[in-house]
Structure formats: structure tokens, C-alpha cells
Copies of this chain bind each other. A is one copy, B any other.
Amino acid sequence: MSISKKMREQMQRSSWIRRMFEDAERIKKERGADAVFDLSLGNPIEEPPSRFLESMRSAAHDAASGTHRYMSNAGYQQTRAAVARLVSQEQGVQLSENHVIMSCGAAGALNVVLKAILDPSDEVIILAPFFVEYIFYIDNHNGVAKVVESDDAFQPDPGRLAEAITDRTRAVIINSPNNPTGVVYSGSLMREVAKVLKDASQRHGHEIYLISDDVYRHIVYDDTPLAAVFTEYPSSIIVTSFSKDLGLAGERIGYIAISPAVGELEALFSACVTATRILGFVNAPALMQRSILACLDARVDMDLYRHNRQVLCEGLTRGGFRVVEPMGAFYIFPQCPEPDDVACCAALRDKGVIVVPGSGFGRPGHIRLAYSVERQTAVKAAAVLAEYGR
């Protein structure tokens, strides 16, 4: 009874993931790291762009006093205003600093928003396959995660969504480009989703929020168009980070942007600021808020991701996997030749390729490959995958 019962259960439930990682580590030791191709981790591998590094170095040399002190819990006014200009451009809706709260990454942002809006037993809908951490985030704030299946192409299913909404539904979380599938949600389906939510909000007499996890927004291939949630649906909130597009996952910097059309904007903004404070984030790291200011439009180089996506999709297809070609992010979520995804992962591991079973993302029979890896790792893994079904 040294730790909480719930924490013990959560740790036990995820113990198979730990075992999997331990198996991978063991194999790396046995065969040498060069003979093992690890596609299990979504850790952005590209270095931050040089414009960011210059900006960070100049911020570190800033001799003005007070630059490392507390600021407003919402973040520096100047950084929030710059983010507001960026989001205004991307969403086609005019925002000011009064719609933006700087956060400790998207994970921090999402916890803050859920803390702000959830009462005990309120329901939050997530679309399977999903980013596993959503379930923990919702549970942190006494919410209940309700899983709605996406269709075979991993697109949202407005009909199933409508059926899942109850009087307790407070929010729907979407993630496009998606982890684990790499899919970008189609504009026409997003309009249908918005219509479902508008109707349901009216029917139940309260706003149902659409929370859009936009962390992969700037990692998109072939000019695939992205829906602008603020244009589609008034009660929407964007949570995101600079982890992926500036390669800053370890620095914990992101933001919350609230649609100006949301009901009770001021209350929601204040609740997010209060949640930032009382959850212990207090504010997003000061130096990073100043570092990103000059390079919000800088991006990591996509060539590596584009290359890896192509060779892995080809390898998978040749190996008998059914592939929905990813349009963004750095993940592929193919269906295995056999129904048992855990067995498939074990077999691949024995051939030196480490991937994660789809069961962990709420969709068995699939595996997730993360291709934020060196070119040679992708090429060699693709060769193993191409032989898989033979």
C-alpha cells in the first residue's frame, strides 16, 4: 500500500508494454544495436531547424533582468500574440492573445483543458485506433473515455459518433494527422462530424467541445489539405506542441488555442489558466517561450520522413500487410497478414524489427511502425518486412 491502488493497476495493465521493451533491449544486447531496427518509438529524430537554434542562443544570451522569473500563468503576452497570428492564418479565423495559453507541450495542454471542463463521470469520446495516453489524461480528471471506432480507412465515422453521444458527453478528441495511423481526416467528413456535434449540443442543451490534437499538423505529405476546425465548428479547442515540427519534444513547449466562437470564452480561458496553475505546470518554460517567438513558422526537414514512409510502405505491401498509406505524421498502421498482432510483433522482433501491436491502440490485428528513424534503419527494416509473409 505504498502507492495508490489505481496507479498499481495502471502500471500492471501496461506491464506487457514494458516486457516488450525489455525483450527489445535484450535482443539489441544479444545481436548488437546495428542488427536491430527499432520502429517502436515516436521520438522525433530530426534536429531543430537552425533558425530555432539561433533564436534559442540569442534568448540564452539576453542580459535583460527578469527573463527567468514567473510570468502570467497563461504565458508571455508577446508569445501568445505571435501564436494567435499563426493560428489565425491557419484557421481562417481572427484570434488574439486572449485565445491562447502557452503550455508544457500538447500533453500538458490536453490535461489542462480536460481539468477545466470535466466533472466526475463526464464522458470524452476518442476515436479508435487512438493515442493510448488519452485514456490516462481523461481518467486523471475523473472523466470516462468512450471509444468510437473509425472506419476501415481510419477516417471518423459520423454515424457511430452520433450514436455514442449521451447527456454526459463533454468533448470529442480528434488527432489529424493521426497517431497511430498517419491518416489525415477528410474535410467532408470533418464537416459531417461538426454537424453531428452541433445537433447533439443543441439536443443536450450544452456545448460539446471538439478538442483537436494538432501535434502533427505541419508533417503532411503530397499537399494533403487539412480541415480548419475553427472554421468548421464553433466550440473547438486546439492543443498542440512544437515537439514535432521544431524537434523540441524534450523541452515541453506547446499551446492551447480556443476558438473565438466558443460559448463563455472568458470563463473557459480563465479555467484553463487556473488549471495550468493548480495542476503544477504554473507556466510553460520561460526560455522556450522566448526562443520560439522568432521562428513559429520554421519546420523540421521532411525529406527523411518522406523517404522512410515510401520504403516502408513498399516493404509492408510486399510482405503481405494491408497498408492505408499515411498522409501525415511519421507512423504507418498496417493490418497484419495474420489476425494476432501480438504474435506478429514477436515474430518481427525475432527477425530484428521492433514494432508495437495495434491492441495497444485499441485496434487488434494491426501493428504500428514509427518511422522517425535513420534512413538505413528504415531501408533494412523494409527488407525484413518485405520477406515477412513469404
Contact = CB atoms under 8 A, between A and B. Distances in A.
Interface of A: 1-8, 10-11, 43-45, 47-48, 56-57, 59-61, 65-71, 104-105, 107-112, 115-119, 122, 133, 136-137, 140, 142, 206-207, 247-252, 262-264, 267-268, 270-271, 274-275, 277-288
Given A7-B117, A107-B282, A108-B281, 14 more contacts: A1-B206, A2-B262, A4-B115, A7-B275, A11-B271, A47-B68, A56-B60, A69-B249, A107-B281, A133-B277, A279-B279, A280-B281, A281-B281, A285-B288
Nearest to A106: B280
A377 to B, nearest CB: 15
A267 B133 contact: no
Contacts of A105: 280, 282
Contacts of A1: 206-207
Nearest to A284: B252
Contact of A280 (B107, B142, B287): B107
B119 A5 contact: yes
A2 B268 CA distance: 7
Nearest to A286: B250
B43 A65 contact: no
B281 A119 contact: no
Given A3-B116, A116-B3, A140 B65 contact: no
A55 to B, nearest CB: 10
A137 B115 CA distance: 12
A284 B104 CA distance: 10
Contacts of A109: 280
B287 A251 contact: yes
Nearest to A135: B278
A111 B280 contact: yes
B104 A68 contact: no
B69 A247 contact: yes
Contacts of A249: 68-70, 282
Contacts of A3: 116-117, 264, 267-268, 271
Contacts of A206: 1-2
Interface centre among A2, A136, A249, A281 (most CB of B within 10 A): A2
